[in-house]
């Protein structure tokens, strides 16, 4: 047991390894409770790591780079593990044979020397034998006990050299962390042998299968963390467009080419130097956020939740401005970074996938394109993806827009090289091209396509083309609202809404939305409907959202060359897109004044139908669980009452009151037809004089249930 005044009871960081060795050398009394030496070492290591963590966070607050600090924390943990290894090695010295060898190998993020303040430690206890010896088992156990006493969360495995290589060859999940492994302590030659064999026996072996495995893992991870990269409480590490997506592309490159680092993307012609620089900027920003999440939580956590966003915005020195709060500016910056990570890594992975699959040459793609018929704007099909017919087309705005029109009309995905070319050539989309008839025609074809407008618009947004062509939309890209109602960024919400309309249009929502499904094909101006949905939130962050949005939408439509009456219709829909939900949910639909006011505002059945579709799509696109049957019933009731008033050609209070009374009488008759004569007589006595509002507020099934409950009392 270590005495309190023992000269080796404490140590400076530089002496930790010697201190650990000395502690392990001290004799322990047979009757001493617990393991005093191990406890003393754990306390020293815990204090050391806490001090290193505090120093890193102080540097972070002063503006230091989080990736640099991540390496500093990894180095501190290296030293702690080396001290634990020295302690365990000294303790087990009597058990070691001449043949025993063991190396402590860092894996995963620890292997990359990247650690957030409370990251887990993943490691391999590598032995030279198929079965662990008493020495290696004791060594491993002692190290783990020390680390657990420190409070570290450890992921570990103990394997022999041959088993490690064999498992890595057959399992991509085991191979992946070994691609970035490094030796921490123990037998350096044994670790080097492992790295050499991994390099020789797994690198470039079946690169296509490894890529497919990593992409499948990525998709499953995205599904678990949230399928959209634009969730307003994103997972910075595992979410779509997060740090793990960057790590995935590095793993794929390491396995395929034996080269580390995302700069390999430049060397292999997969991305440009400017695109890789964008990835580096995004990575640094996400690491800054991740560090602060850990610091403020005091534990490992990867979600940028609402409660943390204001403090992290303050720590990163964001300020209110441009109509956005500091939090909204932080989140906009984050989502633009996530878009860069998501789009650029997707393009690179798609290019690698096509390369590994030995895709057919360009001439074959041209042959397929001719066989399937001429695509608009000189677009061809290569390897199952749409591409520009010639390199010079990449710099022509009408051909860029033709690419997305073809994707929407035909349902094909777009070649990653073509998307990358679009992003690189955004400056060619200028004021002149925004009103050029052919370019506008292709854009409107993509927007209103029957097959897949949502997917095409997402690709357009991913490449930056949508916001460049429609500056009104560009200002809401990555924009959030700091509240718990909205689940997505404004642009993602808008594209979700477009997809809802497309689903209704294609008959996929008949059960959920029978009313909208029944008349959507009767709407005469499909173009105005889709434009209004695309532009419905462009006024957010500019004062009166609906009024500002209407002005911006009208200007955009006139620039696109729409007639003034159509531009006015789009502006009206944008300026009133909340009118129907507010009226249905916040007003008394049994009050004639409510229906009168609403009918006068709407003015026509065409507008009423368009407003129903936009309202449904807007609510559904907010997020899961927002739409429900109650909201649907309210909208249907408001529609039918307003439609009756508009068909009658009168919107005065007296006419509306008569319509409401007629519907109430019909509801009474329907109820009497479903109950016994005795109950019907009682109903006339008890419900005969009920207000019209009661009969309009509930459906027929509810009326029957109320009547039978009253009859049983």
Residues 387-417: pLDDT tens digits? 998 889 999 999 999 999 999 999 898 988 8
* pLDDT on residue 365: 46
Q: Is 20 in contact with 83 (CB distance < 8 Å)?
A: yes
Higher-scoring residue by pLDDT: 648, 106:
106
**CA 638, CA 606: separation in Å to the nearest integer?**
15
Q: In sequence order, what are the residues at sequence separation of 6 or more whose Cβ sits closer than 8 angstroms to the Cβ of residue 240? A: 222, 225, 226, 227, 228, 229, 338, 342
State phi, psi for 622 to the nearest 5 degrees. -65, -40
What angle do the packed helices 273-297 and 243-257 form, to 10 degrees? 130
* pLDDT on residue 664: 73
Three-class SS of residue 207? helix
* pLDDT on residue 485: 62
Average pLDDT, the chain: 87
* pLDDT on residue 44: 94
Q: In sequence order, what are the residues at sequence separation of 6 or more whose Cβ sits closer than 8 angstroms to the Cβ of residue 456? A: 404, 405, 407, 408, 446, 449
DSSP at 392:
G
**CA 64, CA 67: separation in Å to the nearest integer?**
9
Find, among 449, 443, 561, 546, the residue nearest to 499 by Cα. 449
Kindly tell me if the per-residue pLDDT of 442 is higher than 50. Answer: yes
Window from 63-72, 265-274, 518-527, 575-584 with minimum mean pLDDT: 265-274
**CA 606, CA 611: separation in Å to the nearest integer?**
9
Higher-scoring residue by pLDDT: 383, 228:
383
**CA 397, CA 469: separation in Å to the nearest integer?**
9
> Residue 31 — pLDDT band, cuts 50, 70, 90?
very low
* pLDDT on residue 385: 87
Task: Specify which residues 414 forms β-bridges with.
Answer: 386
Q: What is the mean pLDDT of residues 287-295?
A: 97
**CA 291, CA 311: separation in Å to the nearest integer?**
13
Window from 124-138, 150-164, 341-355 with minimum mean pLDDT: 341-355
* pLDDT on residue 711: 63
* DSSP string over 152-174: --EEEEEEEHHHHHHHHHH-HHH
**CA 682, CA 672: separation in Å to the nearest integer?**
10
pLDDT digits (tens, 9 = 90+) for 168-190: 998 999 999 999 999 999 999 99
Window from 253-267, 473-487, 536-550 with minimum mean pLDDT: 473-487
Q: What is the mean pLDDT of residues 645-661?
A: 71
* pLDDT on residue 35: 79
Q: What percent of the chain has pLDDT over 90?
A: 59
- CB atoms under 10 Å from CB of 137, counted, come to 17
Total count of residues recorded for the chain = 713
* pLDDT on residue 670: 78
Instruction: State the residue for tokens 């689903």.
Output: 503
Q: What is the mean pLDDT of residues 42-71?
A: 94
The Cα-based distances of 257 to 178, 244, 264 in angstroms read 15, 20, 9
DSSP at 121:
E
Kindly tell me if the per-residue pLDDT of 555 is higher than 70. Answer: yes
* pLDDT on residue 677: 64
Kindly tell me if the per-residue pLDDT of 491 is higher than 70. Answer: yes
* pLDDT on residue 687: 56
Output the six-digit token pair for 230. Answer: 């634009």
Q: Is 354 in contact with 383 (CB distance < 8 Å)?
A: yes
* pLDDT on residue 691: 63
Q: In sequence order, what are the residues at sequence separation of 6 or more whose Cβ sits closer than 8 angstroms to the Cβ of residue 694? A: 590, 687
Q: What is the mean pLDDT of residues 372-391?
A: 79
Instruction: State the residue for tokens 């994707």.
Output: 407
Q: What is the mean pLDDT of residues 100-107?
A: 96
Three-class SS of residue 123? strand
Kindly tell me if the per-residue pLDDT of 256 is higher than 50. Answer: yes
Output the six-digit token pair for 601. Answer: 């505002």
> Residue 362 — pLDDT band, cuts 50, 70, 90?
very low
**CA 69, CA 50: separation in Å to the nearest integer?**
14
* pLDDT on residue 240: 87
* pLDDT on residue 530: 98
Task: Specify which residues 186 forms β-bridges with.
Answer: 103
* pLDDT on residue 32: 47
* pLDDT on residue 684: 55
Q: Is 186 in contact with 85 (CB distance < 8 Å)?
A: yes
Three-class SS of residue 452? coil
Beta strand pairing status for 154-160 and 121-127?
parallel
Q: In sequence order, what are the residues at sequence separation of 6 or more whose Cβ sits closer than 8 angstroms to the Cβ of residue 628? A: none
Output the six-digit token pair for 508. Answer: 């996929």
Beta strand pairing status for 413-414 and 385-388?
parallel
DSSP at 385:
E
DSSP at 324:
B
Higher-scoring residue by pLDDT: 693, 155:
155
Please report the beta strands in 246-309, taking only residues with DSSP state E, as ranges in sequence order.
Answer: none
> Residue 617 — pLDDT band, cuts 50, 70, 90?
very high
* pLDDT on residue 378: 83
* DSSP string over 558-604: HHTT--HHHHHHHHHHHHTTTHHHHHHHHS-TTSHHHHHHHHHHH-S
Q: In sequence order, what are the residues at sequence separation of 6 or more whose Cβ sits closer than 8 angstroms to the Cβ of residue 253? A: 259, 260, 261, 262, 264, 265, 268
The alpha carbon dihedral of 533, 486, 340, 244 has a sign of negative
Kindly tell me if the per-residue pLDDT of 452 is higher than 90. Answer: no
> Residue 226 — pLDDT band, cuts 50, 70, 90?
low
Q: What is the mean pLDDT of residues 28-55?
A: 82
Kindly tell me if the per-residue pLDDT of 8 is higher than 70. Answer: no
Window from 33-42, 190-199, 441-450 with minimum mean pLDDT: 33-42
* pLDDT on residue 374: 52
Window from 189-193, 500-504, 591-595 with minimum mean pLDDT: 591-595
């Amino acid at each position: 047991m270590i005495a309190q005044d023992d000269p080796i009871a404490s140590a400076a960081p530089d002496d930790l390894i010697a201190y650990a060795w000395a502690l392990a050398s001290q004799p322990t009394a047979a009757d001493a409770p617990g393991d005093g030496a191990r406890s003393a070492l754990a306390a020293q290591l815990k204090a050391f790591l806490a001090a290193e963590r505090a120093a890193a966070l102080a540097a972070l607050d002063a503006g230091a780079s989080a990736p640099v600090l991540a390496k500093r924390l990894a180095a501190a943990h290296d030293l702690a593990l080396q001290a634990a290894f020295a302690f365990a090695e000294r303790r087990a010295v009597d058990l070691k044979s001449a043949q025993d060898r063991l190396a402590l190998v860092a894996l995963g993020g620890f292997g990359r020397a990247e650690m957030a303040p409370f990251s887990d430690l993943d490691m391999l206890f590598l032995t030279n034998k198929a079965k662990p010896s008493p020495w290696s088992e004791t060594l491993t156990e002692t190290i783990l006990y020390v680390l657990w006493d420190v409070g570290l969360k450890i992921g570990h495995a103990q394997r022999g050299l041959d088993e490690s290589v064999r498992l890595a060859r057959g399992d991509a999940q085991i191979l992946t962390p070994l691609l970035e492994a490094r030796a921490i302590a123990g037998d350096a030659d044994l670790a080097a042998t492992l790295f050499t064999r991994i390099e020789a026996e797994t690198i470039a072996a079946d690169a296509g299968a490894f890529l497919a495995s990593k992409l499948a893992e990525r998709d499953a991870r995205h599904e678990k963390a949230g399928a959209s990269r634009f969730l307003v409480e994103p997972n910075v590490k595992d979410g779509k467009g997060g740090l793990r997506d960057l790590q995935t592309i590095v793993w794929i490159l390491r396995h395929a080419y034996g080269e580390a680092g995302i700069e390999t993307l430049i060397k292999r012609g997969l991305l440009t130097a400017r695109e890789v620089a964008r990835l580096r900027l995004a990575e640094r920003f996400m690491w800054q956020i991740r560090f602060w999440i850990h610091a403020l939580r005091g534990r490992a956590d990867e979600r940028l939740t609402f409660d943390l966003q204001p403090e992290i915005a303050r720590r990163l020195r964001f300020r209110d401005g441009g109509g956005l709060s500091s939090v909204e500016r932080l989140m906009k910056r984050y989502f633009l970074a996530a878009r860069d990570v998501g789009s650029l890594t997707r393009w690179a992975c798609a290019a690698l996938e096509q390369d590994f699959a030995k895709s057919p040459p360009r001439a074959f793609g041209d042959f397929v394109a001719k066989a399937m018929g001429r695509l608009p704007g000189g677009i061809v099909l290569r390897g199952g993806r749409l591409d520009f017919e010639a390199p010079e087309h990449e710099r022509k705005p009408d051909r860029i827009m033709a690419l997305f029109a073809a994707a929407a009309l035909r349902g094909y995905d777009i070649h990653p090289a073509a998307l990358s070319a679009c992003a690189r050539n955004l400056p060619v989309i200028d004021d002149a091209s925004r009103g050029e008839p052919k370019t506008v025609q292709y854009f409107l074809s993509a927007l209103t396509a029957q097959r897949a407008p949502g997917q095409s618009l997402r690709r357009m947004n991913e490449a930056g083309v949508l916001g460049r062509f429609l500056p009104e939309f560009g200002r809401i890209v990555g924009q959030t609202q700091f509240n718990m109602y909205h689940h997505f960024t404004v642009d993602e919400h808008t594209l979700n809404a477009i997809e809802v309309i497309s689903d209704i249009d294609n008959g996929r929502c008949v059960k959920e939305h029978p009313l909208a499904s029944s008349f959507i094909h009767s709407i005469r101006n499909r173009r105005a409907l889709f434009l209004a949905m695309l532009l419905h939130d462009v006024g957010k962050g500019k004062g009166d959202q609906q009024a500002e949005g209407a002005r911006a939408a009208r200007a955009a439509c006139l620039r696109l060359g729409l007639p003034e009456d159509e531009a006015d219709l789009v502006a009206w829909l944008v300026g009133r897109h909340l009118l129907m939900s507010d009226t249905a949910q916040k007003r008394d639909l049994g009050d004639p004044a409510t229906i009168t006011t609403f009918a006068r505002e709407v003015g026509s059945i065409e507008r009423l139908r368009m407003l129903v579709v936009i309202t449904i799509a807007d609510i559904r696109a907010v997020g899961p669980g927002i739409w429900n049957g109650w909201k649907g019933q309210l909208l249907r009731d408001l529609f039918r009452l307003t439609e009756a008033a508009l068909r009658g050609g009168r919107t005065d209070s007296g006419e509306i009151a008569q319509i409401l009374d007629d519907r109430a009488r019909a509801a009474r008759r329907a109820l009497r037809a479903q109950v016994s004569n005795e109950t019907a007589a009682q109903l006339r006595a008890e419900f005969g004089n009920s207000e019209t509002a009661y009969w309009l507020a509930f459906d027929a099934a509810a009326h029957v249930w109320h009547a039978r409950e009253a009859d049983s009392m």
